């Protein structure tokens, strides 16, 4: 599903090793180094057309042909998400690039501007590359940016709210009908708003009901489920219930679970069933924002391309010139035509 392009062989080897440990799975991997025969633009062209690649991820240090790269990246981003980590962002880093792959790192700001113009997803670390890739491969396309938080810990709910706000994502307002169903499954001290706080005595059933209702609610575009497994009334069965809901999901469903070995084991189970899981609300919010931003921009550009072009507005100087010409034309038509001398003599005879 995820294919990786790397301009560094050693970094690529580390990625493959890390990927094997995490169990994410890489579809195809290419390390092209000094790009003697094949360059980054050709690789982007290839993976853009590759049906088994859903997401393209890349580590670039420099490019051979800026114009050709821009064209290839733009076409690739129109077809599928392209996540890019750029090396050589600092002055010293750019110098290191020269000695590493003999590439010219170029102006970093210009490179980033080109990525944004093409609607590429910009990562700042390898961890972010994989966080974004997981969300793009496991989550459905979001309809909007309204997020519902479900938690069994009030503090984590607050942190999740802060994280979503930081990236401009909205808190959803569930319908009264859906909230009423959740309230029936909870004690009266549970908070059924946004965040929904199932409290520290939450059990498997409360989570199941809250998740099902949020998934059905048309006012909710994505769900943040914070599952703290340290509470006494929750057992491993809650993960099985969440897996069932996740397999039939119609909107992004992000899980956040922090803790030790037991929590990590349950997170792994969730990821095996194509679910994005995180330990930090901030990392989860950043990844969800990348997903929403990519599809929102893509849809807006596709819509704009279908709309007929509006006639260009004339500049003030052009308007004056057009008015002068029109006036002169009218004046010429209104003047009586002068007869030639020969024609006048004939008429007299």
Q: Where are the domains of the chain?
A: 2-138, 146-301
* pLDDT in single tens digits along all 349 residues of the chain: 899 999 887 888 888 887 777 777 789 999 887 767 889 999 999 999 999 999 999 999 888 888 999 999 999 999 999 999 998 555 554 445 444 444 444 577 888 999 999 999 999 998 999 999 999 999 999 999 999 999 999 999 999 999 999 999 999 999 999 999 999 999 999 999 999 999 999 999 999 999 999 999 999 999 999 998 888 888 888 888 888 999 899 999 999 998 888 888 888 888 877 789 999 999 999 999 999 999 999 999 999 888 777 666 666 666 666 666 666 666 666 655 555 555 555 555 5
Q: What number does CATH give the domain 2-138?
A: 3.40.50.261
For residue 123, give every residue at least 6 positions away whose Cβ sits within 8 Å of its Cβ, in sequence order, or none.
83, 84, 85, 129, 132
Q: Strand, coil or helix: what is 338?
A: coil
Please spell the DSSP secondary structure of 314-333, one letter per residue: PPHHHHHHHHHHHHHHHHHH
Cis peptide before 253 (omega within 30 of 0): no
| Count of other CB atoms within 10 angstroms of residue 147 | 29
Q: What number does CATH give the domain 146-301?
A: 3.40.50.261
pLDDT reported for residue 315: 62
Same CATH fold assignment for domains 2-138 and 146-301: yes
E strands, the chain, in order? 2-6, 28-31, 55-60, 82-86, 121-123, 146-151, 170-171, 191-192, 196-197, 222-226, 253-256, 276-278
Nearest to 59, CA basis, from 10, 21, 25:
10
Q: Which two tokens stand for residue 82?
A: 């392209």
Q: Where are the alpha helices (DSSP H) in 139-203?
A: 154-166, 176-184
Q: Which two tokens stand for residue 142?
A: 């979001």
């Amino acid at each position: 599903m995820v294919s990786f392009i790397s301009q560094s062989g050693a970094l690529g080897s580390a990625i493959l090793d890390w990927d094997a440990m995490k169990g994410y799975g890489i579809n195809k991997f290419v390390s092209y180094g000094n790009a003697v025969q094949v360059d980054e633009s050709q690789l982007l062209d290839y993976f853009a057309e590759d049906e088994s690649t859903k997401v393209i991820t890349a580590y670039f240090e420099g490019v051979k042909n800026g114009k050709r790269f821009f064209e290839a990246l733009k076409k690739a981003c129109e077809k599928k998400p392209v996540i890019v980590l750029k090396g050589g962002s600092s002055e010293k880093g750019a110098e290191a690039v020269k000695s590493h792959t003999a590439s010219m790192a170029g102006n970093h700001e210009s490179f980033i501007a080109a990525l944004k113009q093409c609607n590429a997803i910009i990562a700042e670390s390898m961890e972010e590359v994989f966080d974004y890739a997981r969300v793009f491969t496991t989550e459905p396309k979001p309809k909007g940016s309204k997020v519902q938080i479900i938690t069994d810990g009030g503090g984590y709910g607050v942190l999740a709210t802060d994280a979503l706000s930081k990236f401009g994502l909205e808190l959803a307002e569930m319908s009264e009908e859906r909230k009423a169903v959740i309230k029936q499954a909870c004690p009266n001290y549970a908070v059924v708003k946004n965040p929904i706080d199932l409290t520290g005595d939450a059990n498997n059933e409360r989570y199941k009901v809250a998740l099902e209702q949020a998934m059905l609610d048309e006012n909710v575009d994505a769900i943040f489920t914070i599952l703290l497994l340290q509470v006494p009334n929750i057992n491993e069965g809650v993960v099985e219930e969440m897996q069932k809901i996740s397999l039939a999901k119609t909107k992004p469903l992000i899980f956040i679970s922090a803790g030790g070995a037991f929590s990590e084991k349950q997170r792994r189970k969730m990821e095996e069933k194509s679910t994005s899981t995180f330990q930090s609300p901030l990392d989860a919010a950043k990844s969800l924002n990348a997903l929403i931003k990519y599809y929102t921009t893509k849809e807006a550009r596709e819509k704009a391309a279908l709309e007929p072009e509006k006639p260009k507005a004339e500049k003030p100087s052009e308007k004056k010139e057009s008015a002068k010409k029109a006036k002169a034309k009218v004046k010429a038509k209104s003047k009586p035509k002068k007869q030639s001398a020969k024609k006048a003599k004939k008429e007299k005879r």
